[in-house]
Structure 1
Amino acid sequence: MLTVYAAISMKKPSHPFGELGLIEQIRRDFATSSSAVKLGIGDDCAILRPPPGCEVLVTTDFTLEGRHFRRDSHPPESVGHRCLARGLSDLAAMGATPIAAFLSLALPSTMLAESAGRTWTKSFFNGLRALAELHSVPLAGGDTSESPGGRSALILADIVLIGSAPKGKALRRSGASPGDALYVTGQLGGAAAELATMLKRRRRTPNNKAAKTTEDHPHMFPEPRLDVGEALQRRGLATACLDISDGLSTDLAHLCRASGVNAEIEQEALPIHPFAGKLDAPAALHAALHGGEDYELLFAAPSSVRLPSSLAGVPLTRIGTLKARRAGHPLMTLLAPDGSHTELKPGGWEHFSKPVRTPKKPPR
């Protein structure tokens, strides 16, 4: 198989659980009988059977130690869960049904040589497998490698998700029109608030299996909204959709640019997660608008269509309206409770840029 991150050492491992042992363990733990996977782990390629009349959708996401997680603060089950959740959320945003997952994993050489490292790796796969089983997503292949750097090497994971949607029916960012209403699923700001709390503690959150839910841990165990995305696509309710991975303000800007519209957000309508609600008002608003990693869906729908208060058991909240693009007008505006408007600039996550600081005062 193609080695992505670094060449595997040709030396015979001094421990019994090397790369081949890891692959065999993965093969046993992720054995699948999915009708969509004709051939899974074991050969040079997997063989998939897309459903008839459907198009294939592909997404890929990195999970990088030091960027997306820290070994001293994130339980390995959370790292595995979030690795898969990132890709599943992309499929949800396009109304797709998962077919299979592929994982490329680079580990420090010491990980499989030491008991603590093998325990971490096993727990990582336990977290990934639990979410995969919940959504019937088979792991159909991937790659393993030794990451460079010796004892200071980092863990690198790349997840590829394959999904399907009826031809011409996948949800896009570019289909919204002026006059459409804007909605979000679930609640906002919880992931950012939990992450801030975790980093202040500077110690790993206990692994509590009973608390592995989005409500209890929106950052560590986010729930991709696959059922909502499929329902929006199947019922033709959404004109445009994407997931909130980089923050509402940043992802809304993507939708506006792709659809050629402006947006007005009502501050009072934002569904604030209880974790964010414990913060002071400016910090709570900042978490909801810019925090990111909520993995909720942001979508547009015609104002003439009456949407239910929830879909697939997930609350839907109308947060604003799309406007016609006008030269000289802000791409996005925020309507404050007192009726005043202020420009809303993208303030979420963007790679290769400096992080946005929490404002000292709320927008007026």
Structure 2
Amino acid sequence: MDPIIAATHADPYPYYAQLRAEGGLVFHQGLKLWVASSADAVAAVFAHPDCQVRPLSEPVPKTIVEGLAGEVFGRLMRMNEGEPQRCPRSAIEPGLALIDRNEVQALVNARLITPDAEGLSKAMFRGPVCVVAALLGFSPAQGRMISELTADFVACLSPLSSQAQLDAAHGATEQLRGYFIELLDDPGAQSPLLSDIKQRFGASDNERLIANLIGLCSQAYEATAGLIGNALVTLIRNPSLQRDSASIDVLISEVQRFDPSVQNTRRFVAAPCEIAGVSLNPSDAILVLLASANRDSQLNDNPDVFLLDRPNRRSFTFGSGRHQCPGQRLALSIATATLTQILAMKPALERLTWHYRPSLNGRIPLFSEGQT
């Protein structure tokens, strides 16, 4: 096993413990990058100003730099530093923090969810994007189209995607951009959330606004799907938890710590620096093991035990510092509402099997019925 394969392994957590025992920040000869596995090292990397989200030599992946998906990628706040990161964040984050959980639950309840494997997949992947689309002002029919296009767009974010998938991502980006242009040009269709974001953003850079609205949808697609899916896996492995429906929000909070959908992320060193006693050089890459840090006893007591009533729960799943995910509260609300709706149908969870979607950093279960 290595720290990248671990993301989709059946149980990577003993391996992560081994990595922590070997040192919080260690160079991996096979991968040719540094691996931050302890809570202290992960926190230090996130906090250091010279650890950036993209390499200086490749701000946009070379596989998409020539197309529209690359243009959008280059404008995403989570793929930038400095003002291109702070400005969109300051415009988008306040509105996300004010979204009513009851509104989220109502939007989830309005969707048809079936308790079979196909229905669960749609609820995991398409449902969260439809909720975000509705919160921005799109109609249900438009939301369904936005979710389908988002599924194609996210291919540009994965190094595992084929050329055909990358080509489709460019086409999906063009269509998504068109949907947002129409919505932004129609004040009567805009939701209070979008109006607030638009006002905070100003009229100086409409393309950056559109790119980050597309980014909001893409964030809801995979990460929230994994959060819902890993919660279902937890319930399958612990049937007694299925009877405690009043604690679904707490269960989701512990799942995101215990078995996060985003297992790792990366940082790239922009200038000579020292972190956790290690000297790093420009162009060094760091694999930041969020899932390992979550299981560090320096961060949480009894970290390998799943506890609903965990005191002072701490997690790196949504990042930390200047790049902490601004949509954390919304993601948790959507996952809680979706899982509540799924369990209300009393699905036969014991009949489900799963494998993890191919990924270098995501842990997203794909369910089937009675098959391996």
TM-score norm. by structure 1 comes to 0.21
Could you say which structure has the higher strand fraction?
A: 1
Q: Between Structure 1 and Structure 2, whose CA radius of gyration is higher?
A: 1
**Structure 2 length-normalised TM:** 0.21
Q: Which has the bigger relative contact order, CA under 8 A and spacing at least 6?
A: 2
